[in-house]
Amino acid sequence: MEQVFETDLEAVNASDAAVTNPEEVCDDAAGAAITADPDDTTTRGLGEDFALAAVGGTVSALARGARITHTSGVSRLCNSIFTAICVAPLVIVTCCFLLGWNERRAVCDMKAIAEGESSVVETGCNSVHSQSDLILFSCDLQRTGLPTFYGEGDFSQDLEFTGVGLTTKAEMLQCVEREHVETYKDNYGGGTTEIRTYTYERQWVSNHVDSFRFREKRSHSFRNNCDIDNPPWPFGAPTSKTEYASSGVVGPYTVPKSAFLDRVPLDTPISATRTPFGWDKMGYQYRMTSTHYLGIGDVRVTFLGNDWNQRKMTVLGQNSPSNGRISRWTASDSWLCSGFTLGELRLGEMDREELFRAMQLESSSLTWGLRFVFLIIMWCGFCCIFKPLEVAADCVPFIGPFLGDSMSAIIACVTCPLACACGVGVAGAVWVVMRPKVGLVMLAFFVLVFGGAAALKWYAQKHKDGSSVGRSVAVVDAEASRGAEDREVAEAAEAQNGVVEPQQELDENDSNQQVTAEV
């Protein structure tokens, strides 16, 4: 359920009232919450949150454009249960698969790099190698065979560049929308209130931003920072793009674009032969100004190519002796590894040890980066399984948010080692097939963590059962002792009654005899 303030009038008035007289706004909001329909929990919660926001000064954010959404505790609980049952297991299983794929890729890359380092042949730059081998050479990039690239739009006749490629970086100053989300937990009921505010600012963007989709165009932020819609992309202004040559010549060899030439950085500025009409040159940058006083609609363009002062390149790849064309080299197939290839182009001159060391470092960095990402996602999946406990704690009146936050922290601490152990177990299952020693160590860690968790659960259950038995025995003993005491009291009472009754009979007989004597 959603309640939205009209930003052009209501939110502005609310903001001004909050600044000038926050107590009155608080009282009005609280009164609105009290007099609202008792069954309308959204209105009631909104009034209270609005009052609190007014006192804290947050209402001023409504003047920038805000949308307030309230979610009930029942809705949160149902969503968390659905996520725990349906979504979280799917996330965990997917992460396990991706972790296994990443470990397989890492092992196969290491094998391919090791095999390539042992079988590579270093060649010179005078002639093409005569064998179909994996070769390594460091030679100069040749201009021969490289195409000439031209600018577009107003620069089509004034800019040309012969080289590996051409990058056109074009940006227009436009108004962009930023969304800020703040979520607050209700003091009771387990619900949450979400406040979305929208701000606007001018920014250089390489693609056109459709300002007609902006949500709060009548807010103070939009009027002060933008004031108008973004104009269309100017006619004659280039657009951002990158072009590469299909092939190039390095020494006596021909290298293709894919995996070779497209690794040459295009970071050297290029100037046009003359500045087109309507443009101003500022260093290596060309700029077209608009008529708007805030600069919205201004365009700036920069052209970049490869550095011809850096011509030396190191290439690793499969040689074709017939035409000297380089392609990616395929490593030998092995258990679970097939089709892994090597192909590199690096700027500068590098020897074999330096190149393969850099390749191993890049492969290891990629492996650890993917491990970290997949483990974080798996950890979130484990936390989602226990999310209903946090929502249930939020439903406790008054102290619910504190209990919910505490439960969330506990869940995160408990599930972190479980997620890590699960990830290590998946990695160990892959490594035990390909590298048994490393894989066995990982599997041992997995068994240790989950075995410890199982042992802890068993100990807790046993202790609980033992405590229950002890309490049962204590109750039985107490009942037995209480029964014995009752029996003793009853026997003492009976004994006392047995002594008193004969004495009473004797006294009655004596009284009767005295009466008879008197008569």
pLDDT string in tens for the chain (519-residue length): 434 444 443 443 443 443 334 333 333 333 333 333 333 333 333 333 443 443 344 444 444 457 899 999 999 999 999 999 999 999 999 999 999 999 899 989 999 999 999 999 999 998 999 888 999 999 999 998 899 999 999 999 999 999 999 999 999 999 999 999 999 998 888 899 999 999 999 999 999 999 999 999 988 999 999 999 999 999 999 999 999 999 999 999 999 999 899 999 999 999 999 999 999 999 999 999 998 888 999 999 999 999 999 999 999 999 998 889 999 999 999 877 889 999 999 999 999 999 999 999 999 999 999 999 999 999 999 999 999 999 999 988 888 889 999 999 999 999 998 898 888 888 888 777 666 666 677 667 667 766 766 676 676 677 766 555 555 555 555 666 666 666 666 666 666 655 444 454 545 555 555 544 453
Q: Which two tokens stand for residue 126?
A: 């005078």
On the 0-12 / 13-18 / 19+ scale of CB atoms within 10 A, 250 is buried
Tokens of 405: 């936050």
For the record, the structure tokens of 191 come out as 């619900």
Chain-centroid distance of CA 280 in Å reads 43
Question: Measured at the alpha carbon of residue 232, what is the angle toward residues 229 and 234, in degrees to the nearest 5?
Answer: 130
Q: What span, in angstroms and rounded, lies between the C-alpha atoms of 63 and 197?
A: 9
- Cα 454 from chain centre: 30
Query: How far is C-alpha 288 from the geometric centre of its chain's CA atoms?
Result: 39
Alpha-carbon distance 293 to 463, whole Å?
77
The confidence score (pLDDT) of residue 123 equals 93
- Residue 96 CB contacts under 8 Å (≥ 6 apart), including other chains: 378, 422, 423, 426
Tell me, what's the pLDDT at 491?
66
* In contact, 249 and 256? CB cutoff 8 Å: no
Nearest CA to 302 among 236, 209, 237? 237
Q: What sign does the dihedral 89-95-96-97 (CA atoms) show?
A: positive
Contact status, residue 347 vs residue 312, Cβ threshold 8 Å: yes
CA distances, 252 to each of 138, 382, 491 (Å) = 11, 56, 120
Nearest to 420 by CA among 382, 367, 454, 452: 382
Indicate whether this model's pTM tops 0.75: no
C-alpha 152/C-alpha 168 separation (Å) is 9
Question: How far, in Å, CA of 285 to CA of 277, rounded?
Answer: 15
What are phi and psi for residue 173, nearest 5 degrees? Answer: -75, 115
In the numeric block, the tokens 């108004």 are attached to: 175
DSSP category for residue 273? S
The rounded distance, in Å, linking the Cα atoms of 393 and 405 is: 9
Residue-level pLDDT at 242 = 96
Instruction: Return d(Cα 54, Cα 57) in angstroms, integer.
Output: 5
Model pLDDT, residue 189: 84
At residue 176, the pLDDT reads 96
Which helix (DSSP H) or strand (DSSP E) does residue 421 occupy? helix 400-434
CA distances from 50 to 20, 184, 399, 445 (A): 16, 11, 20, 51
Phi then psi for residue 149, to 5 deg, are -100, 145
Please state whether 348 falls in left (phi above 0), alpha (psi between -120 and 50) or beta.
left
Q: How far apart are CA 439 and CA 174, in angstroms?
A: 54
Sequence-ordered list of residues with C-beta below 8 angstroms from that of 177, at least 6 positions apart, any chain: 198, 199, 200, 214, 215
CB atoms within 10 A of CB 323: 9
Task: Quickly count: other Cβ atoms within 10 Å of residue 98's Cβ.
Answer: 17
**Which residues neighbour 129 within 8 Å (Cβ) at sequence distance 6 or greater?**
121, 123, 135, 319, 321
Phi, psi for residue 186 in degrees, rounded to 5: -70, 155
